[in-house]
Amino acid sequence: MKDTLILAIESSCDETAASVVKNGRTVLSNVISSQIELHKLYGGVVPEIASRKHIEKINQVICQALEDAKVTLDDLDAVGVTYGPGLVGALLVGVAEAKAIAYAKKIPLVGVHHIEGHVSANYIEHPELEPPFLCLIVSGGHTHLVIVKDYGEFEILGRTRDDAAGEAFDKVARAIGLGYPGGPKIDRLSKEGNPDAIAFPRARVGDCPYDFSFSGVKSAVLNYLNNAQMKGEEVNKADIAASFQKAVVDVLVEHTMMAAKDHGMRKIAIAGGVASNGALRDAMEKACEKNRFQFYRPSPIFCTDNAAMIGAAAFYEYQKGTRHGWDLNAVPNLKLGER
């Protein structure tokens, strides 16, 4: 069979990224231009600045991705692009760029759901992984527990009722003065702390056992800090970070194991920025080993936002016949499973 080469573009938040992916599984190039240094100054992503930076960087990033992959635009079979969810101005830059290339080269345009991209990151380094499997998706904006029934087909078992897991990491990091982005900083600091030092709550959501809620643990950390401050006591930031992280990881692993057993799923994958968290990866691996489940996880570079995962997802959409028109728009609140 002839190889399918897809140029993928990702610009939904603060990373301008482009990648060339062969047959959905082989990454020929993966270029990521991060804006973190810029947004750090403001303690979070500033949408207007993100859009402007994407415009500045996108052509360079695409040229680099083609060069690294040793291909030209003429070698491509399709262009894949994230069209939602995300920041509207940021998404529009990638969507407009993808349309221009697809139109000029007369090749198909395939719009990709960002979260479908995160899930598909698992296909890159696990050639044997095929649906169905259970996937925990934990990013800055989303927390979902889904059965991947087929490529691009999801049954959502659970979701967060309030904050996303990554959002909770970012907010707690800010509260203890670690700055943005919080997740990696909590991950690092936790290694010096005692995860059993402080008993933060593990929230259960009564009516849906697979749903998540992280606002309780976040408030518990804030209360802990306020109490200490009022009493004039020093706090141990590493212990707070490690104890908070353990509270979140415990719930993520517990719900995933419960869902796997209830639904007879023996293959478990994780995805999204928080899936690069060391404690989560270790705990999930141990739990899978104990239950004799097969565990899949992307390397950290494919967990946080990148275009290779969009290329993997775009390939399976392309194979299914998904084609978008020149009227493709950015959809900031695109739901999983919607087209």
Binding stretches for ligand KG4 (CB under 6 A) = 13, 139-141, 166, 169-170, 181-184, 187, 272-274, 276-277, 304-305
Q: What does 141-192 look like in DSSP terms, one character per residue?
A: S-EEEEEEEETTEEEEEEEBSSS-HHHHHHHHHHHTT--SSHHHHHHHHHTT
Residue 24 or 272 having the CB closest to ligand KG4? 272
- Do 107 and 76 form a contact (C-beta atoms < 8 A)? yes
- Residue closer to ligand KG4 (CB basis): 107 or 123: 123
Q: How far is 269 from 148, CA to CA, in rounded Å?
A: 10
Among all chains, which residue has been given the structure tokens 């995860």?
Answer: 195
Whose CA is closest to 51, among 335, 330, 337, 336? 330
Q: Using CA atoms, how far apart are residues 108 and 71, in angstroms rounded to an integer?
A: 18
> Closest approach of Cβ 75 to ligand KG4, in Å?
29
Q: Helices (H) and strands (E) in the chain — how many of each?
A: 11, 10
Interacting partner of 158 out of Zn ion, ligand KG4, none (Cβ under 5 to 8 A depending on kind): none
Q: Residue numbers of the site for Zn ion (CB under 5 A)?
A: 139, 305
Three-state SS at 58: helix
Which of the listed partners (Zn ion, ligand KG4, none) does 89 bind, with a CB threshold of 5 to 8 Å by partner kind? none
Task: Tell me which residue of 99, 114, 178, 123 sits closest to 144, measured CA to CA.
Answer: 114
Nearer to Zn ion, 142 or 237 (CB): 142
Please choose which of Zn ion, ligand KG4, none residue 182 contacts, taking the beta carbon within 5 to 8 angstroms, the exact cut-off set by kind. ligand KG4
Residue 82 or 322 having the CB closest to ligand KG4: 82
Nearest to 274 by CA among 143, 133, 117, 85: 143
Find which of Zn ion, ligand KG4, none residue 271 binds, CB within 5 to 8 Å per kind.
none
- Closest contact distance (angstroms) between CB of 312 and ligand KG4 is 15
Q: Provide the minimum distance between the beta carbon of 190 and ligand KG4 in the complex, in angstroms, as a whole number.
A: 9
Cβ of residue 72: shortest distance to ligand KG4, in angstroms? 30
**By C-beta, is 14 or 239 nearer to ligand KG4?**
14
Strand partners, 146: 135, 156
Q: Report the first-to-last Cα separation within the chain, whole angstroms.
A: 28
**Least Å from the CB of residue 165 to Zn ion:** 12
CB of residue 114 vs Zn ion: minimum separation in angstroms? 6
Tell me whether residue 85 or residue 108 sits nearer to Zn ion (CB atom): 85
169 binds, among ligand KG4, Zn ion, none (CB under 5 to 8 A by kind): ligand KG4
